Each structure stands twice: as structure tokens, then as C-alpha cells.
Chain A
Amino acid sequence: MPELPEHLELKRTRVSCNFDAPTDTEPILYSGAYASMGVDNTNMEDFFKNFKIKINRLTEDEIEFDMVGIDAALANAFRRILIAEVPTMAIEKVFIANNTSVIQDEVLAHRLGLIPLNVDPRLFEYKSEKDLPNEKNTIVFGLHARCERGAPRNTVKSDELKWLPNGSEFLLATEDNDSDPAAKARTYTSFSCGQDSLPEFSVNPICARHPDITIARLGPGQEIELEAHAVKGVGKEHAKWSPVATAWYRMLPEVVLLQDVYDEKAEKLVRKCPVNVFDIEDVANGRKAVVARPRACTLCRECIREEGWDQYVALRRKRDHFIFTIESTGALPPEVLFTEAVKILEDKCERVITELS
């Protein structure tokens, strides 16, 4: 297969970061873009052949991996889905029985909503407006904190949110109190069984992901008594349902020395870089600058800012190489989040094709 001339190949595969502005930022997708050169730009087969993935770092709540061979549109779709469309559980309704603290009810409810919960959302169903809260779609937490008179100020932390596996304990007010007293009093939820009897929750009970998030501070004599109902949702509706602290990607930076840089000039170049991309190597004819850590480059362009330096150094990004980072809030491990995101995107594609009739 014929190859593109060097300058066109560079335009096709790299984004150049010049000292004034980046150029060639638009990917060339059109299949016949290089037809006159005899080069086919359709890359369906190439995708399966060239696609590579490599994990650099994987911890309990963070993953960094390299994805090579995809388009920015795809990488961005994954990022958008991770932030806004992978579901989690979050507190949505708060029933406040008593709140004499200085924090207002609505602010308190908002703070509770933002607490990440340590529960797998795949075990639950979405609750729509008309659904009754049951054990399949709602998690109930109770919170009762008090600061005694004369005691020092008390900080209410997220570990005081107690999971109520049998549902709400607050009774619904009914008009006829004198009806059958033996009948079970109705509460705000209608659980048919306790959630703690389900095997997945008996091993690790539901709680807040971090035990030390401050919910409120109570002065002497103040008290908070409430019940919080968590439901399943997506980040599109409210950011509290977003499963990631953040998810982002960057293209792989590429630092190229266009001509050899020696001695004093090399030392100057090493000093210029705030993230230490360059090193000095001793060679036969002096001390030569080399690019040692191109991955660290932030493309701050400090090395080419001074007049004339862009003849020595070229900063580029590889267009199809993405360094993807996902920071999970803890409901799901980061690697599971990514596979969930791919599944969601598949579902989306399926939907836009099957519902077209």
C-alpha cells in the first residue's frame, strides 16, 4: 500500500503545538481524503488490527490507561458517559423530623445528597415518580444526632448515617387512627422484605463510602433527626449521581528535537522545562540534550516561547493515543465503570437503530 509523504502523514496523525497556537486540531475522517495519493483512509479493519489498550495504574478508586487507535469522538463519548450516564445511588428524599441545628433543612438535604454511598447500583432498579418505594429501588438511612446541654460542640459525620434495611421507621399520618390497631402501621416505604436478608448486602452492609464527611455541627442542645431515602439515578439529572470524581483524557504528548542541542544551550533547555522533560547525555562531541520523559510534558510551550527556539524543539500530540484517567467516587471500582460505560454506549446505539422503523 502506498504511503503518504511525511508532511501529510504528520498532519494526519499529529496535532502540532506551535508557540502561537495549536494547528491541525481537526481529525481527517473522510474516507477518500487521500484518494488522489492512492491511500485509503477508511479504517474499519485498521481499527481491529491497531487498537491497543494498556493499563498504567490501577488502584481501588483510580485507573489510568492508554488507549491507542481510537478517534477523539469515541474517547469523548466515553468521558461524557462516565460523568453523566453511568448510574449510582444517592440520597434523593430527606424526611426531617427535627432539626434545631444552625444548618437549614434544604442545605442539610443537599449535603446529604452529595455523600457517596458504598453500594453497587446494579443491584437496584430505577424508581419512577409513580413507583412506591420498595426494597428494590430505595435505600433508607436514619440519622439521629444530639448535642447535650453543657457538652462541647458535636460534629455529625457520615458514619452516623445508619442503614435501615427494613425501610422507613417514620409512620404515615392517617386520618382514622381508630381503625384496626392490629394492622401494621404504614410507613413511608413499603418493603416486602428486609434488605439485609439479601445475600449481597448481608456480607457488606450499605453505608457511606467515607466515614468522615462532616454533615453538620451541633451546638449544645441542638438536635437532628431525619430519614434519608437514596434512589438510583444518573449524573445528567444531578451531579450527585455521577459515579466519578472526574474522568478525563489527554492525547500523548510528543517532544521532538529538530536539531541536536549541545552544551550551554542544552543546559538552558533543561532549565526551561518546569516538568523536567529533558535530560543531558554525554556523547563524544559534548553534552547533548535528549528527550527523556515526554509523557510528563504538559505542553506549556515554555521551551519554545523564546525567539528562535521553535527551530530546535517541536511539540506535538499523537491524535489517536489517549491517556484516560478515571477517578471513582467509590460506588463501583474504576475498571468496572469503564466496562459499564461501554455497555451503555452499546445500548444507546442499539436503541437508536431498533426504534427506527
Chain B
Amino acid sequence: MNAPDRYERFVVPEGTKKVSYERDTKIINAASFTIEREDHTIGNILRMQLHRDPNVLFAGYKLPHPLQYKIIVRIHTTSQSSPMQAYNQAINDLDKEFDSLKSAFEAEIVRHSSEY
């Protein structure tokens, strides 16, 4: 049969990069990042975090087709920043948030289980 293998949804094929960066040729400080084998889970939080950055003029993501397992994140920034810098900062900020979220959750688990 011609059905694609089930693992194709999350295994990055050999020879392709997980993330590739492509600069816009017409607009300065604009670029799109193609992230292989990712979906709305990462795309939406990345978009959310980029919108919080005051230097980001535009940030959006799309899943071009449900059977193409990749997302395209497009970032347009002011001249104070660059898409690469905004992207890196957004992910670092997210990482920090998760760290504090995890420790808050674990502390709450300890507190809750000591109560009962």
C-alpha cells in the first residue's frame, strides 16, 4: 500500500534540518523559519511569546498542509532586533517560564500531599 509510515509524523528525515532559516529578500528584518516535524503545540506558544516582544512587528505561523509535517514561522522585527534574535529570545523566555511553572507545580504537589 502507499500509506506513509506512521513514524513519519515525528521522525525528521535524514538529510533535512530540524529548523531552517530563510531571509526575506524584499523586506529587511523579516524571515521565515521552517520547523520540521512540529505542529500547533510549539507554533502557537512561539507566536504568543513573539507577540510579547516589543521589537516584533509581525509574528505568525502556519501549518501549510496537514500531511506536510512542518510549520513555517514568519517574523518581522524592527531595526533594533533581528528575526533570529527575537526567535532565540522567545524560546529562552519560554524555557524560563516552563522552569518556574514546573517548580510551582511540584511545590504545590508537595503542599497538597502533605495536607492529606
Contact = CB atoms under 8 A, between A and B. Distances in A.
A339 B106 contact: yes
B45 A53 contact: no
Interface string A336-352: 00110011011011111
A275 B84 CA distance: 51
- Which residue among A32, A236, A350 has the maximum number of chain B CB atoms within 10 Å of its CB? A236
A43 B18 CA distance: 30
Contacts of A80: 39-41
A350 B95 contact: yes
A351 B46 CA distance: 13
B19 A355 contact: yes
A73 B48 contact: yes
Given A339-B105, A356-B19, A31 B41 contact: no
A76 B45 CA distance: 9
Contacts of B112: 55, 58
A48 B100 contact: yes
Contacts of B6: 237-238
Nearest to B113: A58
A31 B54 contact: yes
B81 interface: no
Interface in B25-58: 33, 35, 38-42, 44-48, 51-54
Interface in A302-347: 335, 338-339, 342-343, 345-346
Contacts of A345: 41-42, 45, 98
Interface in B43-84: 44-48, 51-54, 84
Contacts of B39: 80
Nearest to B19: A356
B47 A353 contact: no
B53 A352 contact: no
Contacts of B109: 55, 58, 335
A84 B116 CA distance: 32
A348 B44 CA distance: 13
A339 B102 contact: yes
B14 interface: no
A352 B18 contact: yes
A42 to B, nearest CB: 5
Nearest to A42: B52
Given A44-B52, A51-B101, A237 B9 contact: yes
Interface string A81-104: 100010000000000000000000
B35 A43 contact: no
Contact of B10 (A73, A234, A353): A234
Interface string A202-224: 00000000000000000000000
A353 B47 CA distance: 15
A33 B71 CA distance: 27
B45 A351 contact: no
A238 B7 CA distance: 10
A71 B95 CA distance: 15
Interface of A: 29-32, 41-44, 47-48, 51-55, 58, 65, 70-71, 73-74, 76-77, 80-81, 85, 129, 234, 236-238, 335, 338-339, 342-343, 345-346, 348-353, 355-356
9 contacts: A51-B101, A55-B112, A237-B6, A237-B7, A238-B6, A345-B42, A349-B95, A352-B18, A352-B19
Interface of B: 6-7, 9-10, 17-21, 33, 35, 38-42, 44-48, 51-54, 84, 87-88, 91-95, 97-102, 104-106, 108-109, 112-113, 116
Given A51-B101, A236-B10, 15 more contacts: A31-B51, A41-B52, A48-B100, A52-B104, A53-B108, A65-B105, A71-B45, A76-B40, A76-B41, A80-B39, A237-B9, A339-B102, A339-B105, A342-B102, A345-B41
